[in-house]
Amino acid sequence: MIDERFVFLAVTLNFFGGLSYLIDTIKGKVKPNRVTWFLRALAPLIAFFAEVKEDVGVSSLMTFMVGFNPLLIFLSSFVNKKSEWKITRFDLICGALSLTGLMLWSLTRIGSIAISFSIIADFMAAVPTLVKAFKAPETENYNIFVLGGVSAFITILTIKKWDFVSLGFPSYIFLICIIFVLLIRFKVGKVFDH
């Protein structure tokens, strides 16, 4: 394992990844799905509070940043009308499922359950953007996901207590970021269009 202070590097990388997406959102270069980005802010922030409650330590800062960046992106999506993405019935269904997961957690108040439901909620919130990245990768910016994945990997390397409460959310973020990068940077969905 590496020194836990490397989490500050991870958080910084995550912030700058989010900053590039935030700038592209304001400029209208990317078209964030508002349902996704709102829920991708909410779920990690709930996981962050659960990690704090379970004494995860400094590595929980990565989870905070994973929620903070989407919150900024969601808010910035209202600045530029070009950033708007049509919200479909599919988006609303994924959003409802995501919120259901968060409500189920609120009934239990158990840290590992909170993190589990936050992962499920975050994934359900990510589905509309995953579909959009598959179909229209040019509407996304992969930098946030590259740096988010690196941030999660660094965080995983700093964890001293290898249990679900400590590893669950960073591991999920690492995997989902890899998927986003493949879809956006390498335009995997376009391969299937031919």
**How far apart (Å, rounded) are the C-alpha atoms in residues 45 and 37?**
12
**What's the mean per-residue pLDDT of the chain?**
87
Instruction: Give the pLDDT of residue 49.
Output: 84
- For residue 98, how many C-alpha atoms fall within 13 Å in the half-sphere facing its CB? 26
Residue with tokens 């890899």: 178
pLDDT digits (tens, 9 = 90+) for 100-117: 767 777 787 777 887 888
Residue with tokens 């919130």: 125
**How far apart (Å, rounded) are the C-alpha atoms in residues 165 and 141?**
30
| DSSP string over 111-171 | HHHHHHHHHHHHHHHHHHHHHHHHH-GGGS-THHHHHHHHHHHHHHHH-SS-SHHHHHHHH
pLDDT digits (tens, 9 = 90+) for 126-169: 888 899 899 999 988 999 999 999 999 999 999 999 999 999 99
What percentage of residues in the chain have a pLDDT greater than 70? 94
pLDDT digits (tens, 9 = 90+) for 10-48: 999 999 999 999 999 998 888 887 878 888 898 888 888
- CA-nearest of 85, 90, 94 to 29 is 85
Q: pTM for the whole thing?
A: 0.87
Instruction: Give the pLDDT of residue 46.
Output: 82
Contact between 67 and 42 (Cβ < 8 Å) = yes
**Per mean pLDDT, which range of 35-39, 88-92, 185-189 is the poorest?**
88-92
Q: Which residues, including other chains, have CB under 8 Å from residue 192's CB and lie 6 or more apart?
A: none
Residue 25 to residues 39, 122, 144, 179: CA-CA distances in angstroms?
A: 17, 20, 12, 21
**Per mean pLDDT, which range of 53-62, 79-88, 140-149, 168-177 is the poorest?**
79-88
